Each structure stands twice: as structure tokens, then as C-alpha cells.
Amino acid sequence: MSNSKRQITSQGASPAFEQVKPGSNAGTADLLIAGQPSQSPMFDAALMEEICQRSNLLPALKRVMQNQGAPGVDGMTVEELPNYLKAHWLDIKERLLHGVYRPQPVRKVAIPKLNGMGVRQLCIPTVLDRLIQQATLQVLQAKWDRSFSEHSYGFRPRRSAHQAVAQAQSYLKAGYEWVVDLDLEKFFDRVNHDRLLSVLAQRISDARVLQLIRAYLKAGVLENGLVSPRHEGAAQGGPLSPFLSNVVLDELDKELERRGHQFVRYGDDCNIYVCSQRAGERVMASISRFITHRLKLKINQSKSAVARPHERKFLGFSFTASGGLHRRKVANEAIRRFKQRVRQLTRRTRSVNWQERIAELSQYLRGWKAYFEFAETIRQFKDLDSWIRRRLRCALWKQWKTYRRRKRELIALGVPPLLAHTTAWSNKGPWRICHTPGVQLALSNDYFNRQGLPKLND
DNA sequence: TGGCCTAATTG
RNA sequence: AGACAAUUAGGCCA
């Protein structure tokens, strides 16, 4: 599968980039991976160009340049970027080939967390470094991914959170009805550089690649004008980071496999399924030891636990408690976040018209549904649907305000005049009015379907 | 069928 | 508001 991609790469090389490297055609295997030498044209111009042309990268570049400019490649527009690379690629490539390329410092940004109070630190590399990292990722991942554990699902091609949840569910159904939920504390910030590099060195023979990754790990951090060095942690935000986290935690996978555990891992979220609480506590104790001593990582005691699956959430899902059926359901936290978001989207204070509000809500619902449809509890979706619709009726009712307007709108929506009158005349609160026949007739489910509002449950 | 864009979720 | 990867859904174009 990586073969076909590679062929496309070399065929798709544009004339401009071919000219840049006239003498080095034979040396496409610039960087070698142990075991499969000369098959990997890693940092040749064609690959680089392919990356530049990848359209999913361009919006990111655009944003970076519009917002803060790009450190290291300043004053450049998106259109100029390919030209910049064309002009400087020879030079950059030269440095890459000699293992002396040094990345620019990463820009540090703090973003507020969605649910909690805390902030998350991101380290954003320059445009050029992002491209190089992405190239590195693509090549390394193609070689490495096959050897990762079957139980690891995060950040890997053709693997999804859904598959991970399904795997967990199959353990439950097989009778492993206790879960050891492990949460690693500030995982990205604590990765030990030497450890990571030595693991990489077992598979990568080319010192230049190791040198490059090392340079990315050690890249300085630009914080209010000052550059400070870094000694641990992978820059969270760089394209390479998710992959590196898998490399580190692959050791954990292999150990769990060696011990014959039933487990699922997605990023730093690891669940082990066992048959009893006692077994769970035993596993928790010994794996904690392994993680702290061998991997030199910390586990977050407050977020880790041995419990029954319905008490825990995994990737936004949980499981039903009753009767050992273990159906997938939407976790309470996810429901809470959903309602919060819908409330915000339907709030009247935002000055957009009704159509627009429906459209905005629709796209949120569609996306949410695409992920959570995987749950097997129809009730949850029905409840949410009616909750949403009631909320919308309520919002519209409030928007109409006066008796005159309310009656007129109701009639326009096909309510008989007498009913429209009594409904509009009533002075009950909006939340109660929306349960009366008058409003339900006017703003029926059918009405919302016609407006293009998707149903979570269908 | 393939390409491009938008949106949502997970970590 | 803004980084990354994967996955889905929707749209557009040939």
C-alpha cells in the first residue's frame, strides 16, 4: 500500500522541482531505515512537493500566515510558499542530508480547555518545520505502523475510535466485566527524550534522521520574545508528536500483550479488561509500577480507577449497566457538552436570523451524529431530539413576543384560528406552551424536517 | 471513480 | 478564536 503512494510521488514530480536536483537522481534514498534500505525516497524534492501540494495543508498555512505570520519564513503569502521552497530547497536539503538542519523555535500558545478550567500548552512549529515533520511522519509511519499493537487505535491510519470502542465492548461481552482505566499524567510533557531516541535508534539506522527528530524534540520554545531550551516532552502540536507518542507507548502495549491482557489503547487512554475487582487491582498495581519505573511516566491517580465499565467513559462512550448486555451508550459528559452547545447555538441573543440558526445547529447535529450514532441506545437520541425541538419551539415562541404576532404566525403555519387565538392568548411560560396542541401542530416534527434539521434518531 | 472544501468527534 | 493525527458525515467539481 505504501508502494503505490510512493510511485505516485515520483511520477508526480513537477519539472520545476526536478531541475532543482539535477545531479542527485540516483540518491533518492537520502535517509535509510533499517531493514529496508534504498526503498525510501524520504526527503527528495518530489516528496516535498507532494506535501506542499497537499491541499489539506494549505488552509493551515493560510491561517498561520494571516494570523501571526510565519516565524522563520517571514513576510510570505501562501502563493509564494511553493516558490520559497523552490528557491531554498536545495539549501535546506543540503542541511538535511548532512544532518545539520536545525528547526526554528516553536511558538508556544495557551488555549483554554473545553471542559475543565485549565489551559493546554501547544507548541506550534514554523511552516517549513511543519512540512518537514509531516514528510518525516509519512515515511516513518508507513514503515512503522505495521509493527504497532493490534490493540492500539489512536493516530493510526485506517483505525478509529469506533473500532476501539467496539473492541472494548467485545471484551465485556466475553465476560471481562471489570475495567482498569489508566490515565497518564501530562503525557506529552513528560516524554523522556533519551528513552524515545533509543527506541527509535533500534529501528532507524540513519543517524541523520535520528538527529533530525532529536532536533525537533529539543527545539527551543519561543515565549514572549525569549527562546528557552527544552529537555523533556514532545512539542504537542507538531505533526510528528502523535506518532512519537505511539512509539513510546508501544512498549506498554507489548508488555500488556506479553502478560496476555485484554486491553485497548487510544493515545494515552488505556483500558484493560479483567474478570474481577481483585484481578483489576492486582493489574493496576503492577502496571503502575511498570509505567513509572520502566517507562518513566506518571499515572494520574485521580483519573485512573478499577471500576465497572458503566461507571467509566471511554472515547466519549460508556456502556449500559443492566443485564450484562453492555450496549454502547453516549457518556454523560458528552451529553452534557452537547446540551451546553445546543443551548449556546439556540440562544436568542445572538443576532442571526432563524434560518441561519437552524443551519448552524444542523451542521453541529450532523457532525455530532456522525460520531455518536455508533451508540446503541435509541432512547438517548429520541430524548435529545425532543429536547432540541422543544427548545427550538420555545425560542421561536419567545421571538414572536406579542399576541398579534403569535396568532398570525400560528395561523400561517396551518393552525385553525380559534386554536391559534387560545394558544396565543395564554400566559403560561414558553416552556409549557410548547407542549400544548397549538404549538405542536404549528411547529411539528414535520416542520423541522422540512427546515432541514437532521434527526439524531432515524 | 477520483479530486477539493466544509463540518463533527476522539486523544 | 488558534496546533496535530485519525475517523465519520455532508457538500462541490470533473
Chain A residues 363-402, Cβ below 7 A from strand B? 363-364, 366-368, 370-372
Beta bridge partners of A180: A272, A306
A53 is near strand B: CB distance < 7 Å:
yes
A347 is near strand C: CB distance < 7 Å:
no
A315 is near strand C: CB distance < 7 Å:
no
A208 burial level (CB within 10 Å; 0-12, 13-18, 19+): buried
A160 is near strand C: CB distance < 7 Å:
yes
Which nt has its C1' nearest the CA of A243? C5
Specify the 3-state DSSP secondary structure of A185: coil
Q: At a CB cut-off of 8 Å and minimum separation 6, what does A7 contact?
A: none
Which nt has its C1' nearest the CA of A125? C3
Q: A5 CA, B1 C1': separation in Å?
A: 17
Count CB atoms within 10 A of the CB of residue A111. Answer: 10
Q: A130 CA, C5 C1': separation in Å?
A: 13
A269 is near strand B: CB distance < 7 Å:
yes
Amino acid whose CA is nearest the C1' of C7: A160
Whether the CB-CB separation of A406 and A397 falls below 8 Å is answered with yes
A359 is near strand C: CB distance < 7 Å:
no
- Residue A73 C-alpha cell reads as 519564513
pTM value > 0.90: no
Residue A185's pLDDT is 84
Q: A394 CA, C4 C1': separation in Å?
A: 40
Which nt has its C1' nearest the CA of A267? B11
Residue A187's pLDDT is 81
Q: Which DSSP category does A233 fall into?
A: -
A153 is near strand B: CB distance < 7 Å:
no
Residue A49's pLDDT is 52
Which nt has its C1' nearest the CA of A122? C3
Measured CA to CA, the distance from residue A330 to residue A389 in angstroms comes to 20
Nucleotides on strand B with an atom closer than 7 A to protein CB?
3-11
Pick from A268, A272, A275: nearest CA to A286: A272
Whether the CB-CB separation of A362 and A449 falls below 8 Å is answered with no
Q: A154 CA, C6 C1': separation in Å?
A: 7
A71 is near strand B: CB distance < 7 Å:
no
Which nt has its C1' nearest the CA of A61? C3
Residue A76's pLDDT is 58
CA–CA distance from A268 to each of A134, A151, A183, A193, A243 (Å)? 21, 13, 7, 17, 12
Residue A114's pLDDT is 59
Place of cell 506542499: A52
Q: A335 CA, B9 C1': separation in Å?
A: 13
Q: A222 CA, C3 C1': separation in Å?
A: 15
Q: Which DSSP category does A202 fall into?
A: T
CA–CA distance from A303 to each of A93, A264, A307, A328, A371 (Å)? 45, 17, 12, 21, 24
Measured CA to CA, the distance from residue A362 to residue A356 in angstroms comes to 10
Which nt has its C1' nearest the CA of A124? C3
Which nt has its C1' nearest the CA of A64? C2
Q: A340 CA, B3 C1': separation in Å?
A: 37
Amino acid whose CA is nearest the C1' of C1: A111
Measured CA to CA, the distance from residue A34 to residue A140 in angstroms comes to 11
Count CB atoms within 10 A of the CB of residue A41. Answer: 18
Q: What string of pLDDT tens digits covers the 458 residues of chain A?
A: 333 333 323 323 332 222 222 223 323 233 333 333 333 334 444 455 554 454 344 444 555 444 444 444 545 555 666 677 667 777 887 888 888 888 888 888 887 765 556 777 788 888 778 878 887 888 788 878 889 999 999 889 888 999 999 999 999 999 999 999 999 987 877 888 888 999 988 888 778 888 888 998 888 887 777 788 777 777 778 888 889 999 999 999 999 999 999 999 999 999 999 999 999 999 999 999 999 999 989 998 988 999 999 999 999 999 998 878 899 999 999 999 999 999 988 886 656 688 888 888 998 999 999 999 999 999 999 999 999 999 999 988 988 889 999 999 999 999 999 999 999 999 899 999 999 999 999 999 999 988 889 999 87
Please compute Rg for chain A using Cα positions. 28
Residues in chain A: 458
Specify the 3-state DSSP secondary structure of A232: strand
Residue A62's pLDDT is 53
A234 is near strand C: CB distance < 7 Å:
no
CA–CA distance from A335 to each of A329, A339, A344, A381 (Å)? 10, 6, 14, 10
Residue A252's pLDDT is 95
